[in-house]
Amino acid sequence: MNFTHDMSVLSLITGASVLVQLVMAGLLLTSVFSWYYIFVKVFTFKRAVKQADKFERDFWGGGDLNELFQRAINARDAAGSLERIFESGFREFTKLRKQPGQNIGVVMDGTRRAMRATYQREMESLESHLSFLASVGSVSPYVGLFGTVWGIMNSFRSLANVSQASLGSVAPGLAEALIATAMGLFAAIPAVVAYNRFAEDVNRLATRFDSFMEEFSNILQRQS
């Protein structure tokens, strides 16, 4: 986008009005935060899937439930979401089972509620900052368009004092204004793509956690 020295991107940005510069600065800052959260969530979901795979291999490998429970307690900080769901469910199951006069229905209801509470906390953690990416993807183009409209309006207002208008006199102002739209799209497109990808990852993990809770509940019920 280097047409001439005066029409370079840097010259157009520095020559834009103060309001348009503020819009572009805000969009640039928003884009930086978006990319930060994108990289954070990429590693978060990779770690969550890896931890879930490891725990499921141990769980379905025929290991003792008490041993898995103790391991989850000892490595709580490094435990994955699925392991924490298992820990909360097995802890509640063991506690309720020791109480006299409790039938199996009450024990299993309490176990499911404990797992569901942990499930909600884990999903909230996985979904953190996704709303920010969704907002950036939906709002940034309109913010950039606002800067463009303002810049174009100033360009046409400047023509009122010119006796003979030409494309050369209005082109710099239009180019300055259009950069705001380009920056809005630059901030929005990665955020939209990342949000859709992460939302799919969240749904996949949620289905996986739900299936585990149902299967684990059936195992505990059969053991009772």
pLDDT at position 202: 95
Q: Cα(14)–Cα(130) distance, rounded to whole angstroms?
A: 33
Residue 149 in tokens: 């409209």
Tell me the per-residue pLDDT of 160-179, one tens digit each, with 9 for 90 and over.
666 665 555 566 667 777 88
Alpha-carbon torsion (185, 186, 189, 194), positive or negative:
negative
Task: Please list the ranges in the chain whose pLDDT falls under 70.
Answer: 1-9, 11-13, 15-16, 158-173, 224
Q: Is 76 helix (H, G, I), strand (E, B) or coil?
A: coil
Q: Is 116 helix (H, G, I), strand (E, B) or coil?
A: helix
Host domain of residue 92: 9-223
Question: What does pTM read for this prediction?
Answer: 0.82
Contact 45, 212 (CB under 8 A): no
Q: Cα(34)–Cα(30) distance, rounded to whole angstroms?
A: 6
Report yes or no on 1 lying in a domain: no
Show Cβ contacts of residue 205 under 8 Å, excluding neighbours closer than 6 positions. Answer: 45, 48, 49, 52, 81, 123, 126
Report yes or no on 3 lying in a domain: no
pLDDT at position 42: 95
Q: Is 47 helix (H, G, I), strand (E, B) or coil?
A: helix
Report yes or no on 35 lying in a domain: yes
Q: Cα(28)–Cα(146) distance, rounded to whole angstroms?
A: 15
Report yes or no on 4 lying in a domain: no
